[in-house]
Amino acid sequence: KPHAEYEVDPLGNLLVFKKGKNRAKNKVMLAAHIDEVGIIVCFAEKSGFLRFATVGGIDPKVLLGREIVFENGVKGVTGLAPVHLLKEDEKNKAPEISDLYIDIGANSDTEALNAVPLGTTGTFAQKLEEFGDGLVAGRALDDRIGAAIMLDLIRSETEYDLTLAFTVQEEVGARGAAAAAFSIAPDYAIVLEATTAADIIDVPEHKQVCKLKNGAAVSFMDNSTVYPMELYELALKVAEDNGIKAQPKAAVAGGNDSGSIHKSGKGVRTITLSVPCRYIHSQNCVSAVSDIYETRA
């Protein structure tokens, strides 16, 4: 408020109703998720080190030596057995989550669990900084970028009414979006996301998916949705007609809230627009600031 009306549903989705200058013929839902990948405490060793499971898809390799911040403010560092104590066959093996632990400086299991009880969640330490030629690095750009675009829309004057869903639990199966879409019952949905960009060294061009500084990546299919081809083509045409950068997401991979939204109720015609993001689901996601503005446009 005062920009729009809103409510929070039982799952924790924030549903926002933005009145435009005109009433819309169709109800359009915009969605961006506000959860991020992280960890959850499952066990404390007698020594005080914590064992954990991941919440969402995290490659164990990106967790090594990282600072973790728990929801209650306690900080810790992820650890692994020292390399000089590993057997030869273990040195060349990627670690598994079960091999890792979190050191919070506790001296016993009781001390550790008093500070961080079982079921406490945490994630990478906060970071956000601009660097290089117009790039930004930080945790959870997937999907702070989508949320930022929607917040900007809420603060702006819009031509038509909009319903915007800031969804929860996307990283564990697009669960919040299912409830949000059921409540809103839209005719069309636009999912605003970040998606993997593999435009880095040693990756063949046909596997790069999308590239930074080429605008929003428009999906034709992923692992959770087959998008209506007319919406895919319309998105690219609108971008071309208005001088906005856009590109196909040239891979059938991943998934997002559209997987739940498009099959809600009687069915919802859905499109996903994603900002390219390198090193996704790590402490240092990297995107181009220009792509965020192109997607907003």
Cα–Cα distances (Å) from 48 to 51, 101, 129, in that order, read: 10, 10, 34
Catalytic choice (170, 171, 193, 294):
170
Give the torsion through C-alpha atoms of 279, 211, 257, 185, to 10 deg. Answer: 150
* Dihedral sign for Cα atoms in the order 15, 19, 20, 25: positive
Among this protein's residues, is 170 annotated catalytic?
yes
Classify residue 44 as exposed, middle or buried by CB count within 10 Å of its CB (0-12, 13-18, 19+).
buried
**Do 78 and 101 touch, CB atoms closer than 8 A?**
yes
- Residue 134 DSSP symbol: T
8 A C-beta contact, residue 189 and residue 269: yes
- In whole angstroms, what is the distance from residue 107 CA to residue 116 CA? 13
Residue 162: CB partners within 8 Å, gap ≥ 6?
17, 18, 20, 24, 28, 30, 153
Q: Decide: helix, strand or coil at residue 145.
A: helix
Provide the annotated active-site residues: 170
